[in-house]
Amino acid sequence: MNYNKIFILFIVISFLTGCKRNEHLREVVWFNTPAKYFEEAFPLGNGFIGMMVKGGVSSEDLIINESSLWTGGPVNANMNPEAWKNLKAVRKALFSENYKLAQEIVKKMQGKYSESYAPLGNLKLSFNQSDSVTKYNRELDLSTGIATVDYSSDNKKYHREFFVSNPDRVAVIMLKGESSGSLNFILSSNSLLKFKTNVRNNDLIMDGLAPIHSEPSYNSNIQDPVIYDSTGKGMRFRMIARVVKTDGKTFSDSAGLHVEKASEAVIILSIATSFNGFDKDPGLEGKDEKKIASDFIEKASVLSYNELKRNHIKDFSNLFNRVSFSINNSVAPDLPIYKRLINYKDSVSDPALEALYFQFGRYLLISSSRQGGVPANLQGIWNPYIRPPWSSNYTANINSEMNYWPAEVTNLSETHIPLLQHIGNLSKTGEITAHNYFNCGGWCCSHNTDIWAMTNPVGNFGNGDPVWANWSMAEAWYSLHLYEHFAFTCDTLWLKNYAWPLMKGAARFCLDLLVTDPKGYLVTAPSTSPENKFKMSDGFVGSTLYGGTADLALIKGLFIKVLYISDILKTDSVFAGEIKTAMKKLYPYQVGKKGNLQEWYWDWDDADPQHRHISHLIGLYPDNQISPLLTPELATAAKRSLELRGDGGTGWSKAWKINTWARLLDGNHAYKMLRAHLNYVSPSPDTRYSGGGTYPNLFDAHPPFQIDGNFGGTAGIAEMLLQSQNGEIHLLPALPDIWKEGYIKGLRARGGFTVDQSWKNGKLTSATIYPDFNGETRIRYLEKTIRITTVSGKPVRIVPTMFK
């Protein structure tokens, strides 16, 4: 092939892939102003380094994070070793219906709070330029993970590009001025943590130390909430910003690293922390962060800007482009994103915004959770606060699980790995917690965990409200993630060697925890229903009970999966027998007087009928115990519960409801929740705490910012369009009337399938199933099902006439 032919081929390929995709789908978020607030900035990340781009003209203030930079050190799981001794008294109080007493005793079964995700600092580029510019545009391309800033000043054009590369493990900044000498800036850095900065040649080096403890921000009565250690403990970090290329002059002084009279500059940024695993002291046994940061930067420095960019796009787009989604052929209006959100709130139709929002969740997952790293926390990896909301930890009674709901179904299975690895760590500390707090075998995990795999019930040894502090069912919930990873990938080897022992350990804990109630059923006692309270007929409001539905749903879900796996792996039949016996005695779901699925053992009222948590519906979503097709009575009761709860709630609560309404096959109600979820929330301090929704940069408003709602929203949209939890691939299960036509390509179904679907006039036009394996499977569309035989790698085309 001669050169010309190769060039033409290249043009055709890029047209068919990157270019065409963007032109049609416009997976781009843009503003015509720099960001004033964090919730207007663009998040970039490679699962390790996080960078928020505000695009300021006179000063580009980049907010920098590193995902392993946390306060604290390895957890001492033995801080309340005799907590379990209270179990007998709590159970006695509960079974004699003395809930007030039980509530008091249970506080003795609490431990320390988790540690906190720490903000690394800011990298600042101060330009000698005024803020009054023309033609300003700040843009984030979701399909490439590249942010750009463009403007004109004194009739000269300026251009900046930013990305954070996973393959080269550095952040990259490229600056251009139209005419020579027009680019003049000083590079400097600062941090809210302890730090010092040095400038050496073309390197700006910041070394710092994270606190040994940071108290949760909701614990306001603390004199010294942020504590540093002076004996060498605590996490260290190093950040190196290097000017690798410029045609200008560089020099340093106390203000920082100067670049003068340039027309171009490329800066790369490497970061490392001394984090050396959950069980090693990051100070005394930490990794050599200085060497790691240097190694990254030395390796990246030999690559040209274009090479770095190519490596990054290849990696990022490979993941992102696996799914494409278009609704009603809609093209994005030519408006900045905040304006689109404001219009949307005023009921303007913008299907392209809904598709963009779906893809933004995928974008965030690729950017915040990558193999070899730690799981995405409450703010993903983007946090500017030294005491962030809820310590920006892993909250396990919904939030950290929700972060990973889109991972498998939206074809980003590898982004799930950090959470799945973390579960292995939890099983180690969780074994001690199971023993100390519950006198049980196996392992458990409570309301919060952190990078140190903390598993104990929180509350600071008796100060926490049991309504959240004493929940310890995360081992079961996280185990469902192990199962789902297997269900989508069918990776039996991984299941056998890694997931199965962990799931068995969680099930062991649950078996040991269950106790016989006065009616003869097996229940959890004590139990709570995150984070709602019951109201008894005598007016007593409490949270500690026995046999809460959420606990039993999680245990039942785990037991069903354990039985299934024991069967397919042909292993542990004695253990499976024990589970089978227990399952027969589990207190079953109850339907209450209002026709609802009961949240409590008894048919009590809710203290807050519209509470944001809907944990008693875990069996509807994310688990698959309740379905309108298989368990219609329970599904009707679950629906009634959702109606009673209403359509309000925080960001993640609304996202959860998109998923549950989709599982009830009610696409119109799921869509109603999606509209509520996209409710514009202004980031300005006077309004930012008013109700869940979406900030201008598409970050989820809990409020404040919490990333779970983004991920839950993306998962919810996927759930409206494809389901596979009942042993069949259900095409377009909850398509709302308003999405008249469209396509979604690349979603994944359990059993190892990739699925493309298109529809017109609200009806399926065709679907293509790409099977990973040979076999047989059932496909459902509306009420009808068909069986197909699959051969690995051979697509099967499905058309509606096949469903007679």
* Cis status, amide bond into 696, omega within 30 of 0: no
Count other C-beta atoms under 10 Å from residue 583's C-beta: 15
Using Cβ positions, the residue closest to ligand FUC within the complex turns out to be 390
Min dist. Cβ of residue 531 to ligand FUC (A): 5
CA distance linking residue 263 with residue 245, whole number of Å: 11
Whole-angstrom distance, CA of residue 44 vs CA of residue 381: 9
Q: Which one of the spans 122-130, 394-402, 437-445, 668-676 is the region binding ligand FUC (CB under 6 A)?
A: 394-402
Which three-class secondary structure state does DSSP give residue 157? strand
Output the smallest distance, CB 467 to ligand FUC, in A: 9
Which two tokens mark 533? 């309270």
* Rounded Cα–Cα distance for residues 737 and 354 (Å): 14
Residue 661 CB, shortest distance to ligand FUC, in Å, is 20
Instruction: Give the shortest CB-9-to-ligand FUC separation in angstroms.
Output: 50
Q: Residue 360's closest CA among 755, 18, 682, 42? A: 42
Question: What ranges make up the beta strands (E) of 311-464?
Answer: 324-327, 394-395, 448-449
Strand partners, 619: none
Stretch that binds ligand FUC, among 49-57, 246-254, 392-400, 717-725 (CB under 6 A): 392-400
CB atoms within 10 A of CB 286: 20
Segment lying near ligand FUC (by CB under 6 A), choices 176-184, 389-397, 517-525, 662-670: 389-397
Residue number, 403 or 566, with CB nearest to ligand FUC: 403
What's phi and psi for 667, nearest 5 deg? -65, -35
Site membership for ligand FUC, residue 390 (CB under 6 A): yes
Q: How far is the CB of 369 from ligand FUC (least distance, A)?
A: 18
Question: Considering only 110-118, 348-356, 391-399, 616-624, which stretch makes contact with ligand FUC by CB under 6 A?
Answer: 391-399
Site for ligand FUC in 696-725 (CB under 6 A): 702, 706
Tell me if 400 contacts ligand FUC by CB under 6 A: no
237 or 656, CB closer to ligand FUC?
656
Q: Among residues 369 and 377, whose Cβ is nearest to ligand FUC?
A: 377
Q: Which CB sits closer to ligand FUC, 153 or 399?
A: 399
Alpha helices in 445-572 (DSSP H): 466-469, 474-489, 492-494, 500-513, 549-568
CA 518 to chain centre: 40
Round to whole Å and give the CA distance between 45 and 379.
12
Identity of the residue, 390 or 500, whose beta carbon is nearer to ligand FUC in the bound complex: 390
The interface mask with ligand FUC, positions 560-599, x = CB under 6 A, is ----------------------------------------
Longest alpha-carbon distance in the chain: 87
**Residues in contact with ligand FUC, shown as a per-residue x/- string from 279 to 308 under the rule CB under 6 A:** ------------------------------
- Taking the complex as a whole, the smallest distance from the CB of residue 448 to ligand FUC amounts, in Å, to 9
* Structural contact between residues 543 and 532, judged by C-beta atoms closer than 8 angstroms: yes
Between strands 541-542 and 249-253, the pairing is: unpaired
CB atoms within 10 A of CB 325: 23
Q: Which of 202, 399, 527, 754 binds ligand FUC (CB under 6 A)?
A: 399
Amino acid at 92: K
Q: CA neighbours within 13 Å on the CB side: how many for 123? A: 30
Under 8 Å between Cβ of 470 and 459: yes
Cα 591 to Cα 594, 598, 637: the distances in Å are: 8, 6, 6
| CB nearer to ligand FUC: pick between 619 and 651 | 651
Span interacting with ligand FUC, options 80-88, 390-398, 437-445, 677-685, rule CB under 6 A: 390-398
Q: Which residues contact 391 (CB under 8 A, 6 or more apart)?
A: 113, 114, 115, 116, 117, 214, 216, 217, 378, 448, 450
Q: DSSP for 137-188? A: EEEEETTTTEEEEEEEETTEEEEEEEEE-SSS--EEEEEEESSTT-EEEEEE
CB 409 within 8 A of CB 488: yes
Shortest separation between residue 600's beta carbon and ligand FUC, angstroms: 18
State the SS3 of 327-370.
ECCCCCCCCCHHHHHHHHHCCCCCHHHHHHHHHHHHHHHHHHCC
From residue 464 to residue 503, what is the string marking binding to ligand FUC with x (rule CB under 6 A)?
Answer: ----x-----------------------------------
Angle of helix 305-320 relative to helix 351-368, nearest 10 degrees, comes to 120
Q: What is the CA radius of gyration of the chain?
A: 27
How far apart are the C-alpha atoms of 126 and 591, rounded to whole Å? 63
Residue number, 317 or 403, with CB nearest to ligand FUC: 403
Q: In the beta sheet, which residues pair with residue 167?
A: none
Helices (H) and strands (E) in the chain, counts: 21, 36
Does residue 531 touch ligand FUC according to CB under 6 A?
A: yes
Strands 729-731 and 775-781: parallel
CB of 393 within 8 A of CB of 449? yes
191-212 burial: b if 16+ Cβ within 10 Å, else e:
bbbebebebeebbbbbbbbbbb
Considering beta carbons, is residue 556 or 613 the nearer one to ligand FUC?
A: 613
| Residue closer to ligand FUC (CB basis): 369 or 395 | 395
Cβ 99 to ligand FUC shortest distance, Å: 21
Nearer to ligand FUC, 188 or 615 (CB): 615
Closer of 379 and 754 to ligand FUC (Cβ): 379
| E strand spans, 469-565 | 515-516, 522-523, 534-535, 541-542
Pick the closer one to ligand FUC by CB: 125 or 469: 469
CB of 649 to ligand FUC, least distance (A): 9
- 448 forms part of the interface with ligand FUC (CB under 6 A): no
- The window from 393-401, 470-478, 574-582, 747-755 that contacts ligand FUC (CB under 6 A) reads 393-401
Rounded distance between C-alpha atoms, residue 174 and residue 41, angstroms: 18
User: Is there binding between residue 401 and ligand FUC (CB under 6 A)?
Assistant: no
We find the least distance from the C-beta atom of residue 390 to ligand FUC, in angstroms, to be 4
Smallest separation (angstroms) from ligand FUC to the CB of 712? 11
Beta carbon nearer to ligand FUC, 397 or 489? 397
Separation of first and last alpha carbons in the chain = 50
Q: Which CB atom, from 303 or from 454, has the smaller least distance to ligand FUC? A: 454
Q: How far is the CB of 548 from ligand FUC (least distance, A)?
A: 15
**Closest separation in Å from C-beta 530 to ligand FUC:** 7
**Cβ-based nearer residue to ligand FUC, 57 or 614:** 614
- Least distance from C-beta 707 to ligand FUC, angstroms? 11
628-687: contacts with ligand FUC (CB under 6 A): 650
As given in the structure block, the two tokens for residue 383 are: 């946090």
Q: What is the smallest separation between the CB atom of 706 and ligand FUC, expressed in angstroms? A: 6
Q: Pick from 52, 378, 423, 729: which binds ligand FUC (CB under 6 A)?
A: 378
**Closer to ligand FUC by Cβ: residue 297 or 378:** 378
Closest separation between CB of residue 404 and ligand FUC, Å?
A: 16
Among residues 395 and 697, whose Cβ is nearest to ligand FUC?
395
For residue 653, the surrounding DSSP H or E stretch is helix 651-663
CB nearer to ligand FUC: pick between 136 and 390: 390
Q: Among 114, 182, 359, 395, which residue sits at the site for ligand FUC (rule: CB under 6 A)?
A: 395
At its nearest, how many Å lie between ligand FUC and the CB of residue 675?
21
Residues that bind ligand FUC (CB under 6 A): 378, 390, 395, 397, 399, 468, 531, 612, 650, 702, 706
